[in-house]
Amino acid sequence: MDELFVKAYVDESEKEHIARPNLTALQDGWLRLKKNKAAVVCLFTLIAIGLLAILAPEFSRYSYKETNYDIIYQIPSMEHFFGTDQFGRDLWVRTWMGTRISLLIAFVAALLDLTLGVTYGAVSALAGGKVDAVMQRIIEVLVGIPHLIIVILLMMVMPAGIWTIVVALSITGWVNMARLVRGSILKLKNQEFVLAARVLGTSTAGIIWKHLIPNTVGVIVINAMFTIPSAIFTEAFLSFIGIGMQEPKASLGVLINNGYQVLRNFPHVLIFPAIVIVLIMVCFSILGDGLRDALDPRMRK
């Protein structure tokens, strides 16, 4: 070891070297999400459900409205995986068709929520002052009115159908998103990197698109994750009380309503759609929670 007491060559670049791998916020978030086993399981479950919803009805030889009075109320078998209902329709196809419709309604409603909520919240936060105050008062009034009552009233007034349900759901759901987005932007507005952007001469539009929105995306995505199960549940509830989808089209709520009426004698009619809806809701919630933990930069280190 004695011979080592001589001058060492030190690479200049070593001094500023960064050891950690180069990750974007997204990649970093994904890595953290992967560690949350429950969230990953839910993610794959949802993907599986989604695939089944799209593909199962296409690959079956039965259609969702094909009736056959010879085979009504059959229990699950190799012919009919989920059995048949009161009109002899194949429940496997109807369940996945219903899932497709429920998911479609939920996604579109969430999308409308998002668009309306983000715009409202962003404008409110950026305008500030009196405009902001007025906009917030409007929201407070809206929140005060029972959400479900508005939805039911709308359903009774407008023609039945998917789009009616979507609109009814969106009308009140956007409020939460608006509040969250407003909160996020208010906080970001005064951060030093936004001040720096102003000092450097970045235009207001530039500030919104380069700085404010990218840092709010996390909040938006996570809130959307929670909006979806909420929409699915509300739709199911509406269908369950009879003002949702109309026959022969079925959403999960309609199926559950049908199954509920014959629960005593033919439980299989209720069980399968019920399991699917529970799975969807639970998985979105757990995934949403997982995403929130994974994307929150403060929880780093």
Partner 1 sequence: MKSAEKKLLLEVKHLKKYFQVGKNQILKAVDDVSLDIYKGETLGLVGESGCGKSTFGRTVIQLYEPTDGRIVYDGREINGSLPSAERHGFTRKMQMIFQDPYACLNPRMKVIDIVAEGIDAHGILKGEERTKKVLELLETVGLSEEHANRFPHEFSGGQRQRVGIARTLAVNPEFVICDEPISALDVSIQAQVINLLKELQEKRGLTYLFIAHDLSMVKHISDRIGVMYLGAMVELADSESLFEAPLHPYTQALLSAIPIPDPDVEKSRSRIMLEGSLPNPVNLKEGCRFASRCPYAEQLCKEKTPEMKEVRPGHFAACHKAM
Partner 2 sequence: MSRLLEVNQLQVHIRTQHGIVQAVRGISFYLDEQETLAIVGESGSGKSISVKSIMGLLPKNGKIVGGSILLEGKDLSKYSERQMQTIRGSDISMIFQDPMTSLNPTMTIGKQIVEVLKEHRKDMTKTQMKDRALELISLVGISNPETRFDQYPHQLSGGMRQRVVIAVALACDPKILIADEPTTALDVTIQAQILDLMKDLQKKIKTSIIIITHNLGVVANIADRVAVMYGGQLVESADVRELFYQTEHPYTKGLLASIPKASHKGGELTAIHGTPPDLMDPPKGCPFAARCTKTMEVCRQYPPEDMLCGESHHARCWLLDERAKAFRE
The sign one gets for the Cα dihedral 235, 230, 222, 56 is negative
Determine if 16 is a binding residue for partner 2 (CB under 8 A).
Answer: yes
Determine if 298 is a binding residue for partner 2 (CB under 8 A).
Answer: no
Determine if 5 is a binding residue for partner 2 (CB under 8 A).
Answer: yes
The DSSP H or E segment spanning 25 is helix 25-35
Cβ closer to partner 1: 198 or 261? 198
CA distance 298 to 37: 21
Question: Considering only residues 23-62, where is the footprint of partner 2 by CB under 8 A?
Answer: 31-32, 35
Cβ closer to partner 2: 19 or 78? 19
CB of 292 to partner 2, least distance (A): 16
Of partner 1, partner 2, none, which one sits near residue 31, judging by CB under 5 to 8 A according to partner kind? partner 2
CA distance 118 to 124: 10
Of partner 2, partner 1, none, which one sits near residue 1, judging by CB under 5 to 8 A according to partner kind? partner 2
CB of 300 to partner 2, least distance (A): 8
Cβ closer to partner 2: 8 or 200? 8
Cβ closer to partner 2: 2 or 58? 2
Cβ neighbours for 211, distance < 8 A, ≥ 6 positions apart: 188, 193, 194, 197
Nearest Cα to Cα of residue 132 among 170, 209, 185, 174: 185
Of partner 2, partner 1, none, which one sits near residue 47, judging by CB under 5 to 8 A according to partner kind? none
CB of 237 to partner 2, least distance (A): 39
- Sites of contact with partner 1 (CB under 8 A): 13, 16-18, 20, 22-25, 191-193, 195-203, 206, 210-211, 214-215, 297, 300
Distances in Å between the Cα of 215 and the Cα atoms of 106, 126, 196, 210 are 25, 15, 16, 9
CA distance 263 to 269: 7
Q: Residue 89 has what DSSP assignment?
A: -
Name the one range near partner 2 by CB under 8 A: 12-20, 62-70, 245-253, 278-286. 12-20
Cβ closer to partner 1: 7 or 15? 15
DSSP secondary structure of 161-190: SHHHHHHHHHHHHHHHHHHHHHHHHHHHHT
Cβ closer to partner 1: 75 or 195? 195
In the block, residue with structure tokens 């939460």: 176
Cβ closer to partner 2: 16 or 58? 16
Of partner 1, partner 2, none, which one sits near residue 201, judging by CB under 5 to 8 A according to partner kind? partner 1
Task: Please report, as a single letter, which amino acid is at residue 145.
Answer: I
- Phi–psi pair at 90, nearest 5 degrees: -70, 125
Total of residues contacting partner 2 (CB under 8 A): 17
Binding site for partner 2 (CB under 8 A): 1-2, 4-8, 10, 14-16, 19-20, 31-32, 35, 301
